[in-house]
Amino acid sequence: MKVISTESSQILAARVAREAGLEIVDVRFSRFPDGELYLRTGPIDDEMVIIGSIADSDALVQLLLLVDACESSRNVLVLPYMGYARQDKQFNPGEPLSARAIARALSPGVSRILTVNIHDETVLKHFGAPAANLSLAGEIGEYLKGMDFSHPLILAPDEGAAEFGELVASAGGWDCDHLQKTRLSGEEVRMAPRNIKADSRDVVIVDDIISTGGTLAKATEMLYEQGARNVYAVCVHGVLTGGAHTHLLASGIRDVVCSDTLERGCSRYSAAREIVSGIGDART
């Protein structure tokens, strides 16, 4: 078994290979004059770990080409970040169910598929091969153990993420709660922890993904108004579009942290150990 990756997941793939004691395969990427993507791999095995986050359309095409180049009935496909996964419902006639389309396209040529904190696990049923979702809640908990917090409160952004927040909090035996929105008027909404006050506490907001950061920034401002000592944001997937990182820091968040499922400057902890564990489970 060897490890191979697309351009968007080179660093994570190297960490997975190192953690698992596997060889990583060299891949050369280029474009034809008309803009079409091209790649060529080094020597491969009949059992590969193919790693590629779908951060954009080019990353998707690269991943499709890589799966085809390594086609085998024994390959494991790892999708650290699966773009289009949040488009899992049809709200208007004629809309594609994009998560299903991507899942179907990536299924041929692999025996197992691993995702990491996919937005909704019901997407897994659309793959044409057995699929499992890995959670980095434990890795976030281990990262937070190294931080110098004062009486920390782990806070999920909504009820839907409450279970994820509880898994993070369990790593350190910390208090955990989730934000609750209260509409005060047609334009005014108040956000506060549902049960535990943030007064004089370090608050760590944890979630699977940070995209624009708008709601998170607003929540941070309100937490400070309610007496929070410091507010931090830790997520799995740091999409961080539209200047989100700067926006969050400007709102008063002390630090923004994400994993390396999307390789960012604020990627402070790795998905590699959890992925290696998942690969082992997939082979048994």
Residue 241 covered by a domain: yes
Q: What is the structure's pLDDT at 199?
A: 86
Asked whether residue 265 is assigned to any structural domain, the reply reads: no
Torsion over CA of 109, 55, 213 and 175, rounded to 10 degrees? 40
Task: Please tell me which residue in 89, 125, 145, 181 is annotated as part of the active site.
Answer: 181
When divided into structural domains, the chain yields a total of: 2
H helices of 3-147, where? 10-20, 57-69, 98-106, 137-145
Q: Answer yes or no: do 16 and 110 share one domain.
A: yes
Q: For residue 216, what is the enclosing H or E element?
A: helix 214-225
Domain of residue 205, CATH code: 3.40.50.2020
Residue 255 inside a domain? The answer is: yes
pLDDT digits (tens, 9 = 90+) for 149-193: 877 899 998 888 899 999 999 999 999 999 876 555 455 556 667
What are residue 249's DSSP bridge partners? none
Domain assignment present for 60: yes
Report phi then psi at 222, rounded to 5: -70, -35
pLDDT value for 149: 82
Under 8 Å between Cβ of 205 and 183:
no
State the pTM of this model: 0.91
Residue 266 within any structural domain of the chain: no
Each residue's pLDDT tens digit, 237-247: 999 999 999 99
In this structure, the answer to whether residues 59 and 148 fall within a common structural domain is no
Cα(224)–Cα(158) distance, integer angstroms = 18
| Mean pLDDT value of segment 57-82 | 93
Cα atoms found within 13 Å of the Cα of residue 275, Cβ hemisphere only: 33
182 and 69 share one domain: no
Q: Answer yes or no: do 170 and 196 share one domain.
A: yes
The answer to whether residues 223 and 247 touch, using CB atoms and an 8 Å cutoff, is no
Same domain? For 131 and 141 the reply is no
Share of the chain above pLDDT 70, in %: 94
More confident residue, 82 or 149: 82
Q: Are residues 176 and 277 in the same domain?
A: no
Rounded distance between C-alpha atoms, residue 55 and residue 238, angstroms: 10
Task: Indicate whether 114 and 45 sit together in one domain.
Answer: yes
245 touches 235 (CB < 8 A): no
* Cα distance between residue 111 and residue 78, in whole Å: 11
The answer on 115 and 31 residing in a single domain is yes
Residue with tokens 């080094």: 42
> How much is the pLDDT for 73?
73
Domain shared by 42 and 67, yes or no = yes
Cβ atoms of 127 and 113 closer than 8 Å: yes
Average pLDDT for 24-42: 95
Does residue 125 have an active-site annotation?
Answer: no
Domain shared by 238 and 144, yes or no: yes
Residue 77 belongs to what domain range? 2-135+271-283
At residue 284 the predicted structure's pLDDT band, cuts being 50, 70 and 90, is: low
Residues 36 and 87 in one domain: yes
- Output the pLDDT for position 9: 96
In 56-130 the beta strands, taken as DSSP E runs, fall at 76-79, 112-116
> Domain check: are 169 and 100 in the same one?
no
**279 occurs within a structural domain:** yes
Average pLDDT, the chain: 90
Kindly indicate the confidence band of residue 109, based on its pLDDT and cuts at 50, 70 and 90.
confident
